[in-house]
Amino acid sequence: MPPRNSPFDVAIVGGGLAGILALAYARRAGLEAIVLERQGRVGGLWRDLPSWQDIQISPLDWALGDLPLDGATQPHILANIEAWLTRFSLADGVRLNAPVQRARFGDSAWELVTPQGAVRARHLIAATGAHNTPVVPRVSRLGSTVQEFHSSALRDPEMLAGRDVLVVGGGASAFDLLELCFHHGARRAVWVYRGLRWFVPTHKPKHIAGSVRGFARLQASGMTASQQSAAIGADMRSRYEKFGISEIMPSHDFDVERDQLIPGRPGMLANFAAIERHCGSVASIADRTVTLSDGSRIEADLLLWGTGYSVDLSYFEAPEIASIQTLDALCARCGDIFHSLDAPNLYFPSVGLDGIGSAPWSYCLLSRSIMSHIRGTARFDNVAVGRRVNHFAMVDYLAARDPASYPPDTWRAFYRDVALNTPDEQPYAIP
């Protein structure tokens, strides 16, 4: 791209799904926009993940319109992101190999420093996601012979065969790693966790059990968030009892505004009795012995960290933004779901996610309203929401503030029909 003197309307940091969709909606709104992507190809986190990694929902819930999605694993999701780039002719709006080294606001515009030169823009969308730095707890290691992998770095799960494997974590990544242990024939599976996330016990494969259509129908039917939480929570409690896994039932009530709706893992459940479980954390590793916080000692060949990710906003010059490391902390510093309270004209489309629903659907809704705000056709008050607003609840929230995107006389009936009457075998239309 040739150098330019005038600022872009919108600069977008990150060429993953959120960034590509933001670019599509910026162009739809007639705004001049550019995506700055650190890698040589688009895809963001999905470009880095192992091929076995998959989504937590049904592929039909991830797909929108007629863009192809042939499966639920990393290669399929990556191809789907690239399909957006091709279908909407967005490639000329993406600058590759352009990691943002510094972002600062001054003189009514954002200045972004990259190895390819500076970029100026009136508005900045930080689409680098909420899962960009793998978290591995700091533990003492002395002559360790235990191989360690974060879930994002386990490239060859076949290496689990015949090995003693220790899995650490209490959420979706740990569930996936336990599933891999049984699928690939680990000799021993030990599970260590400090806290536990809710999930939906089921014998169905994840790509079927992960459908969010039922949740969408609860939302569209007029149930309050507390009523939705009670209904889903009661169903999960009965499933935990039915599957004989009440020992790992979380101690807190399920809350649709705080928790994910994670599909169960059939292999993990079928082999539950064979999992050696410890409530605690890893304190130290010496030779092939892992010592836990309660003093237990476990012999292991492999240690798999299912301990999630932190937020990396270190490229911002403002310390109050750069110091944010968790999604909850970022959520607390955003108004209107996505609008930063710490800097002008700064937006975080990932804040509304990590809950229940479809990432592409949510990114589309948020991107459309961000562009409406930039064009001056929305009425956002920039007040912190203080909770997750997910899936069709996001429609209700945005519609009250963005009449340009949600015609006041028709939007409610239209989206209610989408939620209640879209066939389960048909993707939602692109908003």
Instruction: Give the pLDDT band of residue 352 (cuts 50, 70, 90).
Output: low
- Model pLDDT for residues 299-341, shown as the tens digit of each residue: 999 999 999 999 999 999 999 999 999 988 998 999 999 999 9
Q: Which of 206, 198, 221 has its CA nearest to residue 392?
A: 221
What is the three-class DSSP state of 297?
strand
Q: What integer pLDDT is reported at residue 353 of this predicted model?
A: 58
Task: Please state which of the ranges 49-63, 168-182, 265-279, 377-391 shows the lowest mean pLDDT.
Answer: 377-391
- Model pLDDT for residues 94-113, shown as the tens digit of each residue: 999 999 999 999 989 999 99
Place of tokens 């939620």: 419
Proportion of the chain above pLDDT 70, given as a percent: 98
Proportion of the chain above pLDDT 90, given as a percent: 88
CA distance 337 to 334: 6
CA distances, 263 to each of 80, 194, 288, 376 (Å): 22, 20, 33, 40
Residue 3 corresponds to which tokens in the numbers above? 């150098």
Place of tokens 């470009």: 47
Run of H or E residues at 103: strand 102-106
Instruction: Give the pLDDT band of residue 366 (cuts 50, 70, 90).
Output: very high
Instruction: Give the pLDDT band of residue 350 (cuts 50, 70, 90).
Output: confident
Mean pLDDT of 240-258: 95
b vs e for 56-91, b when ≥16 Cβ sit within 10 Å of the residue's Cβ?
A: bbbbbbbbbeebebeebbbebbbbbbbbbbeebebe
Q: Do domains 8-132+311-421 and 136-308 have the same CATH topology?
A: yes
Instruction: Inform me whether the pLDDT recorded for 49 exceeds 70.
Output: yes
Q: What integer pLDDT is reported at residue 308 of this predicted model?
A: 93
Q: What integer pLDDT is reported at residue 6 of this predicted model?
A: 86
Is-contact 33 10, C-beta < 8 A?
A: yes
Is-contact 164 301, C-beta < 8 A?
A: yes
φ/ψ of residue 237, rounded to 5:
-60, -40
CA distances, 376 to each of 204, 213, 351, 373, 403 (Å): 46, 33, 22, 5, 11
Question: Mean pLDDT for the chain?
Answer: 94
Residue 51 corresponds to which tokens in the numbers above? 């091929």
φ/ψ of residue 88, rounded to 5:
-105, 15
Q: What is the CA radius of gyration of the chain?
A: 22
φ/ψ of residue 411, rounded to 5:
-60, -40
| DSSP single-letter state for residue 281 | -
Residue 325 corresponds to which tokens in the numbers above? 């490391």
Instruction: Inform me whether the pLDDT recorded for 2 exceeds 60.
Output: no
User: Interior CA angle at 250 toward 245 and 252, to 5°?
Assistant: 145
CA distance 34 to 94: 6
Instruction: Inform me whether the pLDDT recorded for 3 exceeds 60.
Output: no
Is-contact 194 280, C-beta < 8 A?
A: yes
Q: Which residues contact 370 (CB under 8 A, 6 or more apart)?
A: 22, 25, 125, 338, 347, 349
Q: Which residues contact 296 (CB under 8 A, 6 or more apart)?
A: 278, 280
CA distance 80 to 69: 6
Find out if CATH 3.50.50.60 is the number for domain 136-308: yes
Q: What integer pLDDT is reported at residue 69 of this predicted model?
A: 93
CA distance 277 to 191: 5
Q: What integer pLDDT is reported at residue 355 of this predicted model?
A: 66
- Model pLDDT for residues 276-298, shown as the tens digit of each residue: 999 999 999 999 999 999 999 99
What one-character-per-residue DSSP string does 18-76 give?
A: HHHHHHHHHHHTT--EEEE-SSSSS-THHHHS-TT-B-SS-HHHH-BTT-----SBHHH
Q: Which residue has the higher pLDDT, 132 or 26?
A: 26
Please return the burial class of 195, using the count of CB atoms within 10 Å of its CB with bins 0-12, 13-18 and 19+.
Answer: exposed
Structural domain boundaries in the chain: 8-132+311-421, 136-308
Q: What integer pLDDT is reported at residue 144 of this predicted model?
A: 96
Instruction: Inform me whether the pLDDT recorded for 150 exceeds 90.
Output: yes
Task: Please state which of the ranges 85-94, 141-150, 172-181, 198-207 shows the lowest mean pLDDT.
Answer: 198-207
- Fold of the domain spanning 8-132+311-421: FAD/NAD(P)-binding domain (3.50.50)
Instruction: Inform me whether the pLDDT recorded for 380 exceeds 90.
Output: yes
Q: What integer pLDDT is reported at residue 62 of this predicted model?
A: 94
Q: What share of the chain is helix, strand, coil (3-state, %, to 5)?
A: 35, 20, 45
